[in-house]
C-alpha cells in the first residue's frame, strides 16, 4: 500500500560536522572566520531545497555536532529541529532549555561508529516514560528510535510517545542479500502494528538513493530521517540538488522549499 500523504524528509547534518571535526577539532576559527564546512549553512541550503526538518545528534562525546552548532541552528532555521539524544538527565535538561520541535531518543555507545541498534524501551520503560512526560510539558514531541520488534513497539504504544522511528539499518545492510525481503517484511509488520497502536511512524538509518524506491512503500510512513547518503551526494552535486533528488525519489516531486 502506498502512502496517501507525501512523506516528509528530515535531513540529518551530523556528517557535515564530522568532516569539519576531522580537521578543525582544536581551533575555533580559520582565516575566513567560519570553519568549513559549516553544518548550519548546509542545513539552511537543505531547507531551501525542500527539507521538512533538520536533525542533529548531540552526542555525549561531541564527536561531530557541537553545542554551538545547535544554538546557531535554533536561531536561524525555519523548519523543525529534531534533536537526537541519549536518554540521560543531562540531555533532558539540555533539550528542555533548547526547545526543539521534537527529540528522538536513541541509544548511545562510545565505541560505535554510528547509532547501532534501537533503543531498548522495554528495558527502561519508566525512564522513557519520565522523559516523554517532561518533553510533553514543554510542548516537545518525543520519538523513540526502535527496532521493528513487536515487543518494543508494544511498549512504545503503552508509553503513548506519539512517534516512533523504525531503525532501517538492518534492512539497509541486507539490501544486496537474500535477507532483504524478510527485513523489509519485518519493517512493514512493525509499521502496521505501530499504526494500530496509534503511533506516528517515522523511519531512518542507511536510507539511500537506491533503497528509497522500496523504503518509500513502507505503510503509514510519516517522515524519513536521512543523513549519510545525502551528505555524500552533496559533495558532488551540492546540497540543494542532493536534497531535491531525494525528495523526488521519495515521491515528492515538485518540492518547493523555502523561498
Ligand atoms: N535516524 C537516527 C535515529 C540516526 O541515529 C541516524 C544516524 O545518525 C539517522 C536516522 C540517519 O542515518 P543515516 O546517516 O544512515 O542516513
The domain limits of the chain are: 8-250
Residue ranges of alpha helices (H) inside 49-205 are: 67-76, 89-98, 125-137, 150-159, 169-173, 180-196
Question: Over 50: is that where the pLDDT of 103 sits?
Answer: yes
C-alpha cell read off for 51:
527539507
Strand (E) or helix (H) holding 226:
strand 221-226
> Which ligand 1 atom sits closest to the C-alpha of 104?
3
Q: What is the pLDDT of residue 257?
A: 45
Q: Looking at residue 28, what is its pLDDT? A: 64
Q: What local confidence, expressed as pLDDT, does residue 114 receive?
A: 67
Distance (angstroms) between ligand 1 centre and the Cα of 209 equals 15
Identify the weakest region by mean pLDDT among 212-216, 238-242, 248-252.
248-252
> Residue range 113-131: average pLDDT?
89
Quote the pLDDT of residue 168.
Answer: 98
**Residue identifier of the C-alpha nearest atom 5 of ligand 1:** 115
Active site residue 176: no
Q: Does the CB atom of residue 105 touch ligand 1 within 6 A? A: no
β partners of residue 56? 83
93/32: higher pLDDT: 93
Residues in the chain: 259
- According to the model, what pLDDT value does residue 190 have? 98
CA geometry: angle 28, 236, 83, nearest 5 deg:
50
The Cβ-side half-sphere exposure at 172, using a 13 Å CA radius, reads: 21
CA-to-CA distance for 129 and 237, rounded, in angstroms?
A: 42
C-alpha cell at position 220: 503509514
Residue 114 to residue 157: CA distance in whole angstroms: 26
Q: Is the minimum distance from the CB of 171 to ligand 1 under 6 angstroms?
A: no
Q: Residue 225 Cα, ligand 1 centroid: separation in angstroms?
A: 6
Could you name the CATH architecture of 8-250? Alpha-Beta Barrel (3.20)
**Better pLDDT: 103 or 257:** 103
Helices 14-24 and 228-237: crossing angle in degrees, nearest 10, is 70
Residue 246 CB–ligand 1 contact under 6 Å: no
Spacing of C-alpha 58 from chain mean position: 12
Containing 83, the helix (H) or strand (E) segment is strand 80-85
Which candidate, 152, 141, 250, 139, places its Cα nearest to that of 200? 141
In three-state secondary structure terms, 211 is: coil
Question: Is the per-residue pLDDT at 230 higher than 50?
Answer: yes
Q: Per residue in 75-87, pLDDT tens?
A: 999 999 999 999 9
Asked whether 206 lines ligand 1 (CB < 6 A), one says yes
- Atom 3 of ligand 1, nearest CA residue: 145
Query: The pTM is what?
Result: 0.93
Given the residues 15, 47, 84, 147, the one annotated as active site: 84
CB neighbours (10 Å) of residue 98?
19
Residue 5 has a pLDDT of: 86
Task: Tell me whether residue 112 is exposed, middle or buried, using C-beta atoms within 10 angstroms of its C-beta: 0 to 12, 13 to 18, 19 or more.
Answer: exposed
Average pLDDT, integer, range 131-148: 97
Best residue for ligand 1 mutational test, from 42, 115, 208 (most atoms within 8 Å of Cβ): 115
Strands 53-57 and 163-167: unpaired
Test site for ligand 1: of 61, 156, 227, most ligand atoms within 8 A of the Cβ: 227
Does the beta carbon of 63 sit less than 6 angstroms from any atom of ligand 1? no
Q: Report the pLDDT value the prediction gives residue 23, as an integer from 0 to 100.
A: 84
Question: Using CA atoms, how far apart are residues 92 and 103, in angstroms rounded to an integer?
Answer: 9
Three-point CA angle 34, 76, 228, nearest 5°? 70
Tell me which of 116 and 167 has the higher pLDDT.
167
Distance CA 93, CA 135 (A): 10
By the 8 A CB rule, do 10 and 223 touch? yes
Ligand 1 mean position, distance from CA 108 (Å): 12
Grid coordinates standing for 113? 561508529
**Is 214 among the catalytic positions?**
no
Amino acid at each position: 500500500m502506498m502512502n496517501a500523504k507525501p512523506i516528509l524528509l528530515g535531513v540529518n547534518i551530523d556528517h557535515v560536522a564530522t568532516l569539519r571535526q576531522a580537521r578543525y577539532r582544536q581551533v575555533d576559527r580559520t582565516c575566513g572566520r567560519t570553519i568549513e564546512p559549516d553544518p548550519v549553512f548546509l542545513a539552511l541550503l537543505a531547507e531551501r531545497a525542500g527539507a521538512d526538518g533538520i536533525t542533529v545528534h548531540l552526542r555525549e562525546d561531541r564527536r561531530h555536532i557541537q553545542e554551538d552548532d545547535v544554538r546557531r541552528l535554533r536561531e536561524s532555521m525555519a523548519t523543525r529541529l529534531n534533536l537526537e539524544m541519549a536518554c540521560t538527565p543531562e540531555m533532558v535538561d539540555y533539550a528542555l532549555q533548547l526547545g526543539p520541535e521534537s527529540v528522538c531518543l536513541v541509544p548511545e555507545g562510545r565505541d560505535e561508529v554510528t547509532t547501532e541498534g534501537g533503543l531498548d524501551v522495554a528495558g527502561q520503560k519508566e525512564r522513557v516514560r519520565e522523559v516523554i512526560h517532561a518533553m510533553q510539558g514543554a510542548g516537545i514531541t518525543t520519538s523513540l528510535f526502535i527496532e521493528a520488534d513487536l515487543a518494543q513497539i508494544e511498549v512504545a504504544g503503552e508509553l503513548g510517545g506519539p512517534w516512533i522511528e523504525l531503525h532501517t539499518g538492518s534492512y539497509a545492510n541486507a539490501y544486496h542479500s537474500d535477507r532483504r525481503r524478510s527485513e523489509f517484511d519485518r519493517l512493514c509488520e512493525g509499521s502496521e502494528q505501530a499504526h494500530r497502536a496509534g503511533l506516528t511512524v517515522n523511519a531512518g538509518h542507511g536510507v539511500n538513493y537506491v533503497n528509497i524506491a522500496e523504503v518509500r512503500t513502507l505503510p503509514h510512513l510519516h517522515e524519513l530521517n536521512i543523513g549519510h547518503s545525502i551528505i555524500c551526494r552533496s559533495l558532488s552535486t551540492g546540497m540543494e540538488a542532493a536534497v531535491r533528488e531525494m525528495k523526488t525519489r521519495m515521491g515528492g516531486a515538485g518540492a518547493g522549499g523555502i523561498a
